[in-house]
Amino acid sequence: MLQPSTLKFLKDLAKNNNKPWFEKNKKTYESAKVDFENFVTAVLEKLGKSEPAFKELKAKDCIFRIYRDVRFSKDKSPYKSNFGASFSKGGKKHMAAGYYLHVEPGKTFLGGGMWMPEPDMLKKIRQEVDYNFKDFQKIVNSAAFKKTFGKLSEEDKLKKVPKGYTDDNPAVEYLKLKSFVAGSKADDKDLMDKTAVTKVTGVFSTMKPLIDFLNEAAD
């Protein structure tokens, strides 16, 4: 579980997103960072019991830096106001589908999938959805998936059917997607509970059929 002090640090950072404050509270950040690393390690250990790909990963392979790249952003805030980690075979830099943990006071969520894959990979996924649409439907329309995630995000979606497909294709609305991701909100208090790791991996378990489908398509 995460310590309350970790969530408090992120909450304070959101209100004081500047270098002088961050440097003054560097020790508090370091403690929060270690706490999050320990939590991610525990999640990896739990995932590794059923998914061998996670056994060799370390927390550092999954956790994103808190420092923002502001070179091309209008928002010049130097730090992220969250801790984030991506769980996929090969770690955060691997292009495989995987799970995602986002810890941010009041905005914490769990999710995963494959976000904005490269054109060749996206083509493979669309082809797999088209060829095996019944299997894909069973995954995204299952009671567990709908209860936990609702539906796939439509944030990145084409207005027209992609080249090579027609409007009467049964899978047309999914073929328009440019990302195949879903998320579920989580209460901050759940992450500070002793059952936090079990709850997180339970959500990931519900998403596993989608992750497996996407990775099989991309391979």
CATH number at residue 49: 3.30.930
Q: Which of 90-99, 111-120, 195-204 has the lowest mean pLDDT?
A: 90-99
Domain ranges, residue 152: 4-218
Alpha helices (H) in the chain, listed in sequence order? 4-15, 19-24, 26-48, 119-131, 133-140, 143-149, 172-175, 188-191, 196-218
Number of independent structural domains in the chain: 1
For residue 183, the model assigns a pLDDT of: 96
pTM for the predicted model, two decimal places: 0.93
pLDDT over 90 at 73, yes or no: no
Q: What is the average per-residue pLDDT within 77-102?
A: 92
In contact, 170 and 133? CB cutoff 8 Å = yes
- 76-111 in b/e burial notation, b at 16+ Cβ within 10 A? eeebbbbbbbbbbbebbeeebbbbbbbbbbeebebb
- 18-39 in b/e burial notation, b at 16+ Cβ within 10 A? eeeebeebeebbeebeebbbeb
Q: What does pLDDT average to over the chain?
A: 95
